[in-house]
Chains A and B, each alone.
Chain A
């Protein structure tokens, strides 16, 4: 069992690290096709990473350790999250520490590291991007935590593995009002946290609108490759989290290798499906103005709160 558990953890990290750029490329490709362009191909992000890694590392004059450490910290925290989360199997050696609050904290650590790096460059864009990113992050955190509480109330634990195993045993749980509201709130929070279109446009370099791109404007060469890999991994991990909370079926609860293989395939399929949906939706959506982002996030916060409240006063599961 524990041998398979270690294999599961290793496989999750490999799939997330190797698959995140492919997911990014796939989403760009879907978007390009829907917009009537040929697209650069699914492998383009990997080709970009290879090109950037071959370049010489350059750092701007006057930047300190915050700038140099941020890409490493971003990739490292996301890789730890990928190892912790029960994406493929709920019975891994680390599943006891797969607490949702810890996962959210690790993701926030990566965000903060990048924001500090943006401030460290001392440029106008870096500071602007960092300030915007922190504004959004401060509004997203409570939403994510409340949505997490809503899904953890029926289980009585914030441990992700316990939540997912509990949902597999009670298949009606995600269809309850609380579950649906929590997943809806989490979906908006994931969009904001991953910097996707209603909140931030990952494809733009327009001064007035960029958030994430403004922070990482000064990066070049291998550091830029790490930053891009890190943000793609974040998207993959967040979509995987959303997929496994909304539809956990297929996640291995036992300890056999074939089941694990099946779970990995299902994970890839689920994440690719969510990515396709997101990419297709992005074609039709417009980025909202920065000052309307709090409105969107207040709405998702309210949905999360209603999810918590609903799990108390509907069903009465928590009252019992």
Chain B
């Protein structure tokens, strides 16, 4: 691969990664969030694959394939099931059905109706977080400026935006999406800064994330069975009693 094409592809993948993090903040529709998360996972796998091909480290390609399957396939599938669980159906994306049958279904469950921070303010915050990531990563980039390390602020910005989604959203699914965005950001930072961690560590982290999502899935289902909703603010009220 020529160096020009390598830089272009890496930049494109990083751009998609950051854009997906921003769209997670922009959209209220939970089904859309899950789809965006799948795209972000694919972009993350693309970063690993591009780095692997460029540096001729074939182990990294295996890691890229694993990351792609997990983050663009399995995790979004699990989240979609968590979304679909309440309609009684399996993996169908629920919102259209929810809109068509407002009497059987609590429509507000399909959307982030009243986030803690409203959407316009969260977008401006995302802008500030991106600038913060750029400022914070400058000394790191100056150490060894290659195309990969120059894109390091993208990883940090995705981490910060993921944190912000965790803080600013109420629905359990939206928070899981925020958690996964955060994790995608951490993995992207690892790939960009050090061309990835050893495969065994990557494997461990991936299983950890998978387990976390599975536990959260079960937890969400239980919450919904107990309270009929996944608004996490209700849990705070519960603990006061």
Answer whether A and B are interacting partners: yes
In the assembled complex, the Cα of A181 lies from the Cα of B12 at a distance in Å of 11
* Cβ–Cβ contact A314 & B124, under 8 A: no
Instruction: Flag whether A70 is at the interface (Cβ < 8 A).
Output: no
* Cβ–Cβ contact B123 & A306, under 8 A: no
Q: Chain A's nearest CB lies how many Å from the CB of B207?
A: 32
* Cβ–Cβ contact B127 & A301, under 8 A: yes
Could you say which of A59-67, A85-93, A291-299 contacts chain B? A291-299
Most buried by B among A181, A316, A319: A316
Q: Which of these, A299, A301, A315, A319, contacts B11 with CB under 8 Å? A: A315
* Cβ–Cβ contact B19 & A306, under 8 A: yes
Instruction: Flag whether A172 is at the interface (Cβ < 8 A).
Output: yes
Q: Which of these, A175, A181, A312, contacts B19 with CB under 8 Å? A: A181
Instruction: Flag whether B141 is at the interface (Cβ < 8 A).
Output: yes
Which residues of chain A have C-beta atoms less than 8 A from B18's C-beta? 306, 310
* Cβ–Cβ contact A314 & B14, under 8 A: yes
Which residues of chain B have C-beta atoms less than 8 A from A256's C-beta? none
Instruction: Flag whether B154 is at the interface (Cβ < 8 A).
Output: yes
Instruction: Flag whether B22 is at the interface (Cβ < 8 A).
Output: yes
* Cβ–Cβ contact A312 & B11, under 8 A: no
Which residues of chain A have C-beta atoms less than 8 A from B121's C-beta? 298
Most buried by B among A294, A310, A313, A316: A313
* Cβ–Cβ contact A313 & B150, under 8 A: yes
Instruction: Flag whether A180 is at the interface (Cβ < 8 A).
Output: yes
* Cβ–Cβ contact B131 & A309, under 8 A: yes
Which residues of chain B have C-beta atoms less than 8 A from A319's C-beta? 145, 150
* Cβ–Cβ contact B130 & A298, under 8 A: no
* Cβ–Cβ contact B145 & A176, under 8 A: no
* Cβ–Cβ contact B123 & A301, under 8 A: yes
Count chain B residues whose beta carbon lies closer than 8 angstroms to a beta carbon of A.
Answer: 30
Instruction: Flag whether A305 is at the interface (Cβ < 8 A).
Output: yes
Q: Chain A's nearest CB lies how many Å from the CB of B63?
A: 23
Q: Of residues 14 to 55 in B, which have CB atoms within 8 Å of A's CB atoms? A: 14-15, 18-19, 22, 26
In the assembled complex, the Cα of A181 lies from the Cα of B151 at a distance in Å of 16
Instruction: Flag whether B153 is at the interface (Cβ < 8 A).
Output: yes
Q: Chain A's nearest CB lies how many Å from the CB of B141?
A: 7
* Cβ–Cβ contact A302 & B131, under 8 A: no
* Cβ–Cβ contact B15 & A309, under 8 A: no
- Given A314-B151, A316-B145, A319-B145: A299 and B26 interface contact (C-beta under 8 Å): yes
Instruction: Flag whether B87 is at the interface (Cβ < 8 A).
Output: no
* Cβ–Cβ contact A313 & B119, under 8 A: no
A73-93 to B contact mask, C-beta < 8 Å, 1/0: 000000000000000000000
In the assembled complex, the Cα of A218 lies from the Cα of B15 at a distance in Å of 47
Known pairs A314-B150, A316-B150; list 10 more (Cβ under 8 Å).
Answer: A298-B124, A301-B124, A305-B130, A305-B131, A306-B22, A310-B18, A313-B134, A313-B151, A314-B15, A319-B150
Q: Using CB atoms and an 8 Å cutoff, list the residues of chain A in contact with chain B.
A: 172, 175-177, 180-181, 294-295, 298-299, 301-303, 305-306, 309-310, 312-316, 319
Q: Using CB atoms and an 8 Å cutoff, list the residues of chain B in contact with chain A.
A: 7-8, 11-12, 14-15, 18-19, 22, 26, 118-121, 123-124, 126-127, 130-131, 134, 137, 141, 145, 147, 150-154
17 residue pairs of the A-B complex, CB under 8 angstroms, read A177-B11, A180-B15, A181-B15, A298-B124, A301-B124, A301-B127, A302-B123, A302-B124, A306-B22, A309-B134, A314-B11, A314-B151, A314-B154, A315-B11, A315-B150, A316-B145, A316-B147
